[in-house]
Amino acid sequence: MPAVSTNDLKNGMSLNLPEGLFNVVEFQHVKPGKGGAFVRTKLKNVRSGAVIERTYRADEKLDQALIDKRDMQFLYLDGDYYVFMDTTDYEQMQAARASLGSSASYLKEGDSAVIQMYDGEIVGVDLPAAVELTVAETEPGVQGDRVSGARKPAVLETGLQIQVPLFVNTGDKVKVDTRNGEYLTRAGS
């Protein structure tokens, strides 16, 4: 595992610390008038999402984690496993729903995603900022009921439950933000 100096830290860099695998969210080099320089960091745990703050001496060595990012296409669901195909070598891989985290709620057959792997384990999934999904189930909209900003629950084709405007009906395609799971707009058919 390559060692990296705290002087060379960059946002988004992955580190393998004794506490687990972390991404650098923010860092700041501090050179006080007295004493040695140090680096103040904000680190996000890749698995749990917890953010911690750590201070290191300048030029302290840390283990850098090299994350393998692969362009994959979601082929189909096999029981509780998602089957992906690597778009470069066409090799297939199975992933448990739990290893995909909340990303599984936005994946439908044929969708592309960037799977982040470390030591053969999935540590993250990069999705587009928004995806189009079909509404599988929602209460029908009532004619004339157009209260501004009113919402109703809807279940999408992937099982994700979101709040949609009253005019959205079962069978409509909607655009959903993958960062927060919110309805963006109705998509063209």
In angstroms, rounded to a whole number, what is the distance separating the alpha carbons of residues 41 and 54?
5
pLDDT at res. 146: 62
Token pair 């900022």: residue: 129
Q: Which two tokens stand for residue 46?
A: 């890749």
**CB burial readout 46-76, b (16+ within 10 A) else e:** beeeeeeebebeeeeebebbebeebebbbee
pTM for this model (two decimals): 0.73
Q: Which of 126, 153, 170 is the last residue of a domain?
A: 126
Question: pLDDT-derived band of residue 49, with 50, 70 and 90 as boundaries?
Answer: confident
* CATH number (domain holding residue 53): 2.30.30.30
pLDDT at res. 174: 93
41 and 84 assigned to the same domain: no
What length is written for the chain?
A: 189
Q: State which residues form the domain around 10.
A: 3-63
Question: pLDDT-derived band of residue 72, with 50, 70 and 90 as boundaries?
Answer: very high
135 and 117 assigned to the same domain: no
7 and 38 assigned to the same domain: yes
Q: Which of 63, 82, 113 is the last residue of a domain?
A: 63
112 and 145 assigned to the same domain: no
21 and 43 assigned to the same domain: yes
Count how many domains the chain has. 3
Helix (H, G, I), strand (E, B) or coil at 137: strand
18 and 57 assigned to the same domain: yes
pLDDT at res. 169: 87
For the segment 104-114, the average pLDDT, to the nearest whole number, is 91
109 and 134 assigned to the same domain: no
